[in-house]
Amino acid sequence: MALMITDECINCDVCQPECPNSAISPGEEYYEINPDLCTECVGHHEESQCVEVCPVDCIVLNPDIAETREQLYKKYLDLTGQAVQE
């Protein structure tokens, strides 16, 4: 699943620079995560970096976007221009 930021976000600005895929950007009211770019840090880190640094725990799994770890890894490969190794 991709991650999402809930309306509990306090716009503290710590999550955006931590995202290796540039999936986080300021929204109208609070930060947003682009699900097309979010890999939950699969391929980059063991843990989702935005979740690790969020002081209010407002970054959660997006229930509308179900993705397996394998799908997230394929997205990571696509985003970084790496060929899928089979």
Domain positions in the chain: 3-80
In the block, residue with structure tokens 């609070």 = 30
The model's confidence at residue 78, banded by pLDDT at 50, 70 and 90, is very high
pTM to 2 decimal places: 0.90
Mean pLDDT of the region 23-52: 97
Q: Model confidence at 1, in pLDDT bands (50, 70, 90)?
A: confident
CB 48 within 8 A of CB 58: no
79 close to 39: Cβ distance less than 8 angstroms: yes
pLDDT reported for residue 84:
62
Confidence (pLDDT) at 86: 54
CATH code given to domain 3-80: 3.30.70.20
How far apart CA 31 and CA 33 sit, in angstroms, is 7
